[in-house]
Amino acid sequence: MLEISQPSLRQEQHPVIHRLAERIINYWQKYLTLSAYTLPEGLGYVEGKLEGERLRIENRCYQTPQFRKMHLELAKIGKNLDILHCVMFPRSEYPLPVFGCDIVAGRGGISAAIVDLSPTSPEKTLSVEYIKHLSALPPANFSEVRELPPWADIFSDFCSFVRPQGKEEEQDFLDLTANYLRFHCRQAVKSNLLSPPQQKLYLAGQRYYCTQQQQNDKTRRVLEKAFGQEWADNYMNSVLFDLPEIEKETVATIKETTKTVPLK
């Protein structure tokens, strides 16, 4: 049984990032059957310098029968900037959207927070079950809604991209993200398998999601300044948004080899 007990950056980060990271880990453990996911060598934890400030990045990745890769990245730049990035990539055998959330926080508070369940279906829409649940959630009225970048056609109508103002709105975003995540985990374990032709269509949808995300110039520029262009390209393409291939292993094999991972 794999034990994960090393210290985490979240203990040093903005309180909302700390709490959301804890919630993500707890929900993964509560609702899903986890096994380890092996990152490229040397990329589980990295350190660098950005404009004279110490940059630390911590990556934790897991997989389940329904998800090929569940990635939680925490980053800290000096004492002034904290980042949380989380994505759950489904296996092509399941008709699931991509859960994703990001928070960027500095001394002045949270400057950007986004959460979505991005469709991977050929129609680029969420299923009836997802639409019904998300439509029924209490509306979260944020003071400042941010504009999505030009490449962001991958997001759903339920994407929330905001700059939370004050403790109440920070809590609203935390609650909204937790609701999306909890429902997504529950739906995943109830999902039925797709036929091989359908799998290819959903795989194409996920590859498009990754291709669009790789166009995020802000992320790439930060990584290039700290580690160089070659390292940044490798990190973007192999850690953050790797393009999925059709998995060779069957779902039955995955279930047989999966072990529960206690998270701390």
Please give the structure tokens belonging to residue 118.
């991005």
Q: Does 1 map to a domain?
A: no
Q: What 3-state class would DSSP assign to 112?
A: strand
Q: Does 2 map to a domain?
A: no
Q: Does 107 map to a domain?
A: yes
Answer whether 261's CB lies under 8 Å from 34's CB: yes
Exposed / middle / buried, residue 230 (Cβ in 10 Å: 0-12, 13-18, 19+) = exposed
The number of folded domains in the chain is: 1
d(CA 225, CA 217): 12
- For 126-146, what is each residue's pLDDT tens digit? 999 999 999 999 988 999 999
CB atoms within 10 A of CB 27: 16
Matching residue, tokens 């979260």: 140
Q: Which helix (H) or strand (E) holds 210?
A: helix 196-213
Q: Does 26 map to a domain?
A: yes
Name the pairing type of β-strands 53-63 and 45-50.
antiparallel
Q: Does 21 map to a domain?
A: yes
CB atoms within 10 A of CB 184: 22
Sequential pLDDT tens for the chain (264 residues): 334 445 689 999 999 999 999 999 999 999 999 999 999 999 999 999 999 999 999 999 999 999 999 999 999 999 989 999 999 999 999 999 999 999 999 989 999 999 999 999 999 999 999 999 999 999 889 999 999 999 999 999 999 999 999 999 999 999 999 999 999 999 999 999 999 999 999 999 999 999 999 999 899 999 999 999 999 999 999 999 998 874 443 333 333 333 444 444
Q: Which domain holds residue 38?
A: 9-257
Q: Does 264 map to a domain?
A: no
Q: Does 4 map to a domain?
A: no
Give me the CATH number covering residue 94: 3.40.1500.20
